[in-house]
């Protein structure tokens, strides 16, 4: 017997995944026997939190659909279970199906064939259908075919290097409001692998292309990303004198952008400094063989960075003891309470800071460290507050 349409669960919850498992039974059974075995033999196996009947009542798991065919006293078929849970919980439910070894009195074997990402499948269908519709539209002469097709194709090529008047660049340098200027092709190639698509290479010091200067001068924000060496500082001086430069992001001393891992890269970008301050500091050290150690310089290193000052602006909108994640592009997450912070941090890809309207505890810093979030800003010191490696913490009392 067959049930053609897989239900997507009740109460309007969008299903994220679909578990697809094969079914082989040595005997003749009915569909209700299979569903009964699934519910009965997984009951208590995974604890109350992942009990199938409870998950169905809360619409975290949808309708269990079983498609079967009988032949010569044996039954084979497919089990379909939609899920709105995350990928880890869905995989656990799927693996539990394989523990079922009998349906009624008959021996049974259930094997999970795949866990389908419903959203990815829908997106693929949308893209394929869009191509069909656009090609049909172009064929009738009702659209500027080159422009439209290139726009759609750009969705599929966002991770590819491009060229701007011979300079290696990411795909979004012209459409983005901000621009990251780097030294060479390998620098741009490295950052684009981590989703930064508005970077362009200037091909080192020397003759700067006028097209690059004009592009930078047209942007709202220009960041120059330099290596952590003398050559990087020399490049910054040249660029600062020729084009608009708002901020400077420098790699750690002795390191180059083309070799930085993602964690270090996002930290460097999040800790960018105002360009005029960097230039002033370089001018003070010109002619010195050693880094300055004057009291004035020591005071400057303790100054609150501008990016941290900007983070403080998010505190005004937060309830007490609530927090938000701030991402590398300046956007932020929805506010969350302290109980949700650890779980949400695990999925906060690209987050560079946590802003908390409350005290920072040792646990808060541990959550940031585990999620590779570089900066934490809070209002005061909390329980067991102290410095943790790889996390920079600030209190509003420092301002």
pLDDT in tens, 185-217: 889 988 888 888 899 999 876 678 889 999 999
CATH number reported for the structural domain that contains residue 33 in this entry: 3.30.70
Q: Is residue 2 part of a domain?
A: no
Residue 167 and residue 244 share a domain: yes
The domain boundary, picked from 156, 183, 203, lies at 156
Residue 227 and residue 140 share a domain: no
Q: Is residue 349 part of a domain?
A: yes
Structure confidence at residue 349 as a pLDDT band (50, 70, 90): confident
Residue 297 and residue 190 share a domain: yes
**pLDDT > 60? residue 157:** no
Tokens representing residue 152 in the block = 């759609």
Residue 233 and residue 192 share a domain: yes
Q: Is residue 7 part of a domain?
A: no
Give me the pLDDT at residue 310, please. 84
The domain tally of the chain equals: 4
Give me the pLDDT at residue 286, please. 62
Tokens representing residue 42 in the block = 């997984």
Crossing angle of helices 87-97 and 31-42, rounded to 10°: 110
**pLDDT > 90? residue 121:** no
Q: Is residue 6 part of a domain?
A: no
Cβ proximity of 82 and 21 under 8 Å: no
Residue 169 and residue 293 share a domain: yes
Q: Is residue 3 part of a domain?
A: no
The domain boundary, picked from 301, 334, 357, lies at 301
Show contacts of 204-213: CB within 8 Å, 24+ apart. 204/235, 205/231, 205/234, 205/235, 205/238, 208/238, 208/239, 208/242, 208/243, 209/165, 209/166, 209/167, 211/164, 211/165, 211/167, 212/164, 212/165, 212/167, 212/181, 212/243, 213/242, 213/243
Residue 268 and residue 184 share a domain: yes
pLDDT in tens, 251-269: 988 888 988 888 888 888 8
Give me the pLDDT at residue 111, please. 94
Percent of the chain with pLDDT over 70: 85
pLDDT in tens, 356-398: 988 888 888 888 888 888 889 988 888 878 777 778 888 887 6
Residue 14, helix vs strand vs coil: coil
Percent of the chain with pLDDT over 90: 22
Residue 25 and residue 114 share a domain: yes
Give me the pLDDT at residue 4, please. 40
CATH number reported for the structural domain that contains residue 213 in this entry: 3.40.1360.10
The domain boundary, picked from 256, 284, 301, lies at 301
Q: What pTM did the predictor assign?
A: 0.38
Residue 293 and residue 322 share a domain: no
Average pLDDT, the chain: 81
Residue 244 and residue 336 share a domain: no
Residue 237 and residue 169 share a domain: yes
pLDDT in tens, 284-327: 776 554 444 444 443 344 467 877 888 888 888 888 889 999 88
Read off the pLDDT of each residue in 17-29 and give the average, rounded to a whole number: 91
Give me the pLDDT at residue 154, please. 45
**pLDDT > 60? residue 282:** yes
Give me the pLDDT at residue 205, please. 63
pLDDT in tens, 67-98: 999 888 899 999 999 988 888 889 998 999 99
Residue 240 and residue 147 share a domain: no
Tokens representing residue 183 in the block = 């030294």
Structure confidence at residue 225 as a pLDDT band (50, 70, 90): very high
The domain of 32 spans 17-118
More reliable by pLDDT, 341 or 1: 341
Q: Is residue 250 part of a domain?
A: yes
């Amino acid at each position: 017997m067959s049930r053609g349409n897989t239900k997507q669960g009740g109460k309007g919850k969008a299903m994220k995944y679909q578990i697809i498992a094969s079914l082989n039974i040595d005997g003749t059974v009915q569909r209700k026997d299979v569903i009964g075995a699934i519910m009965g033999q997984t009951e208590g196996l995974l604890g109350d939190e992942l009990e199938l009947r409870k998950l169905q009542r809360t619409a975290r798991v949808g309708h269990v659909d079983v498609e079967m065919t009988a032949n010569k006293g044996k039954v084979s078929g497919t089990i379909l279970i939609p899920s709105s849970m995350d990928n880890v919980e869905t995989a656990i439910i799927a693996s539990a199906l394989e523990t079922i070894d009998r349906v009624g009195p008959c021996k049974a074997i259930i094997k999970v064939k795949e866990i389908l990402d419903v959203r990815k499948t829908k997106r693929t269908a949308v893209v394929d259908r869009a191509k069909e519709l656009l090609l049909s539209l172009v064929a009738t002469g009702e659209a500027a075919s080159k422009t439209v097709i290139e726009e759609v194709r750009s969705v599929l090529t966002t991770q590819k290097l491009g060229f701007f008047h011979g300079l290696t660049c990411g795909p979004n340098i012209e459409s983005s409001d901000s621009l990251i200027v780097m030294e060479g092709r390998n620098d741009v190639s490295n950052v684009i692998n981590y989703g930064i698509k508005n970077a362009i290479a200037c091909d080192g010091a020397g003759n700067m292309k006028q097209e690059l200067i004009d592009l930078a001068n047209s942007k709202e924000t220009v960041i120059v990303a330099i290596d952590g060496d003398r050559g990087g500082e020399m490049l910054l001086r040249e660029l600062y004198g020729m084009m608009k430069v708002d901020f400077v992001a420098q790699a750690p001393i002795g390191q180059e952008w083309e070799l930085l891992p993602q964690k270090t890269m996002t930290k460097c970008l999040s800790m960018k400094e105002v360009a005029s301050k960097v230039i002033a500091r370089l001018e003070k050290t010109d002619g010195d063989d050693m880094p300055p150690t004057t009291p004035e310089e020591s005071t400057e290193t303790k100054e609150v960075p501008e990016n941290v000052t900007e983070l403080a602006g998010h505190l005004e909108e937060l309830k007490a003891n609530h927090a938000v994640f701030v991402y590398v592009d300046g956007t932020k997450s929805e506010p969350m309470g302290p109980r949700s912070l650890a779980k949400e941090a695990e999925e906060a890809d690209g987050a560079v800071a946590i802003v908390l309207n409350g005290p920072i505890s040792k646990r808060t810093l541990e959550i940031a460290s585990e999620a590779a979030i570089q900066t934490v800003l809070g209002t005061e010191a909390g329980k067991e507050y102290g410095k943790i490696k790889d996390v920079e913490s600030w209190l509003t009392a420092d301002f």
